[in-house]
Chains A and B, each alone.
Chain A
């Protein structure tokens, strides 16, 4: 079992003396190879895109809640976006597309994978840095131009991409159908470049987890956050090249006259959908697995109890990772693909409910008979569980292919995906940011402000997204600029207005978080090494940890969830502390067989 004896790590340490950091400002904070700085760089980049994506959502909600009314400040926008302040369909389609693109590729994915993959993996496994620090730096500095290129779409003739974040061909391939030429090209090139960043990041994570674990950190002592990030990195490495390949084909269709997706010259529009969703469904799990892992860490800490069913949790993560490859067809139930495939994909999709249920029940098992402390990260983690249940259960409706006929491409799917991506991923991100903030910045966030932000977010979030289920059940199509065009949707307008007002309040609430984040950076209370009394290796280090992390390579004696152990006088026992009396904690956390 002992895969990582000290001698096998490529890093040697002579840490009898204090490490002197003599790097220049640029090497330390801009072109840094330190995984912690890169994580924080990703954090700042992706929070910026989260804000931009949120602003675009506000534009959509304005138009849907108050169709035909001038957007506040709308007259300041160019004539190609608004007319007399009223949002034009051009701007609406562009907002639909770029909201999804920003949120999926430049906010949620980098927040989970870029930020926490970078920040947590080396610290939690007891490594000095990533296996390939320079490639790690290159990964961030490849993501930045990709983001800028995507953003640049708004400033070129024809505006940004407008074929939806799924970019279905031939709409996305032919500028005569969208009215957008350069914007669609930028979309493709940006995602191809971003794909390079993701690939560099993911093989770095995989190598690091396999090779750089501290002595004693065997696979079944890894925190679930690291298991989840490891499986996620495998999914990224396998899924992203499929998207890149598809985007390259689409780019060729747009620019050099190929017809991969254009039936008029023998191409096949469904090919795009198969390629996109073959990437896209593993992507869905890329966007939730790291959240599940980090929430498991935080819930065990908040409940002061070991994670219930650790092995099942690991197996469930792996099962989701595998099953995620066999369900892409459920995005295409109504696409015209062979209907026999519909039944196959229905069953495989329904089976994903099994590992999801295992995770949910084990989280409940973890808080059962605990001593629950409601710190801000714990509140967000509990909200994650509660909201993920809704998002998971609403998925069953769409997995049942006959009922999907009715609700496919309606607001029901919009509700579902936001319960998973906002209720799930974003609450997990709030939990993780508030949990590791003290470690990242050496200061505590204000807990009172944090609780106000949490409760307002939870309420306005549900007011925004829950009624979308009802819109969908009444047949309200998604991505339509003006629902009042349809008689059967006219009566739903008050619901749309209610949703829009809730969405504005939800958006406004996020400035409380932003203010807490920024103010605490400068004025927050100094953070102790281990503010949450956690067992993880990162909490044995100063806040923030120095360059190179561990002065001496830590030895790991047990798993990360030994809370309230009878072997300790306190209710926690860090992973690197030898067990008093030489016992080994729980039976299943035997030391590495060395």
Chain B
């Protein structure tokens, strides 16, 4: 439990960890400094300027200089945070940000399951060797994957905490979301947008394979589809 009261982010497994986590730690430091400065000043003032018999409060109405200082310092700090954050946003969510070599998959969210369509051996969606698997997202490691996300009913939200990626799946829209896993292993995909009674169990397993394992898995699935 002690571990979970820490301010560290849990380990991640995609390239976005490098793009996003440092922004968090930067903001943590900046807001941490502001937090301690304000709260310590508050407590010090409360103790130091508590009512004393015969004491008189200082009759002042403010200080234009102080107003200018704290207004401009705050404005500069937040704008810098914004400017530092903007490139990561463009890279992850920008329409130009999707790597051209990304492997395409299709994800159709539905109450309360994730249906994932793979391109098969030809690497292209919309061809006859596509196949669809429910509740299992398989991707190769160290290679970008781009999912075209949609929903057939309510709004859902595609969320893989270890990949630091989240994108709503909206009925009637086809939203592209990409990520590049960096570690082989199993992760969890959850729904982050209230979507009905089964929202809490709209879960899927994400398996990150080596390229060879991934190809083997695709071949297996293709075989199973052919036998159906």
Contacts and interface: CB of A to CB of B under 8 A. Distances in A.
Interface in A549-584: 563-566, 571
B83 to A, nearest CB: 8
A370 B1 CA distance: 42
A510 to B, nearest CB: 25
B192 interface: yes
B93 A360 contact: no
A373 interface: yes
Contacts of A564: 56-59
Contacts of B39: 386, 389
B201 A397 contact: no
A406 B198 contact: no
A247 to B, nearest CB: 18
Contacts of A483: 200
B138 interface: no
B62 A312 contact: yes
A336 B168 contact: yes
Contacts of A474: 4, 10, 161
A339 to B, nearest CB: 4
Contacts of A503: none
A378 to B, nearest CB: 10
Contact of A310 (B55, B62, B196, B198): B62
Interface in A387-440: 389-390, 393-394, 396-397, 399-403, 405-406, 408-410
Contacts of A394: 31
Interface string B14-43: 001001100110011011001100110110
B95 interface: yes
B70 A168 contact: no
Nearest to B45: A367
Interface in A261-307: 263-264, 267-270, 303-307
A371 B171 contact: no
B213 interface: no
Contacts of B30: 396
Contact of A93 (B58, B71, B197): B197
A268 B192 CA distance: 20
B217 interface: no
Interface string A453-481: 00000000000000100110111011111
Interface residues of B, number: 89
B59 A486 contact: no
A214 interface: no
A588 B61 CA distance: 9
A406 B82 contact: no
A54 B172 CA distance: 37
A245 interface: no
Contact of B45 (A89, A353, A368, A480): A368
Contact of A264 (B19, B154, B167, B171): B171
Given A467-B5, A482-B200, A397 B59 contact: no
A368 B203 contact: no
Nearest to B26: A400
B62 A309 contact: yes
A483 B193 CA distance: 14
Nearest to A406: B164
Interface stretch (B46-54, B128-136, B220-228): B46-54
Given A170-B154, A473-B9, A358 B71 contact: yes
Given A263-B172, A486-B188, A308 B62 contact: yes
B79 A347 contact: yes
Contacts of B3: 491
A519 interface: no
A269 B70 contact: no
**Most chain B CB within a 10 A radius of its CB, from A409, A477, A495, A563:** A477
A334 interface: yes
B50 A393 contact: no
Contact of B57 (A178, A470, A571): A571
B211 interface: no
Contact of A396 (B7, B66, B78): B78
Interface string B93-104: 111000000000
A542 interface: no
Contact of A408 (B55, B95, B192, B203): B192
B184 interface: no
Interface in B62-90: 62-63, 66-67, 70-71, 74-75, 78-79, 81-82, 85-86, 88-90
A453 B28 CA distance: 32
11 contacts: A263-B172, A309-B63, A354-B75, A364-B42, A367-B49, A371-B55, A382-B42, A406-B161, A408-B166, A475-B161, A480-B200
Given A350-B82, A357-B70, 10 more contacts: A177-B111, A269-B170, A334-B166, A361-B66, A372-B51, A396-B27, A396-B81, A402-B89, A470-B7, A494-B1
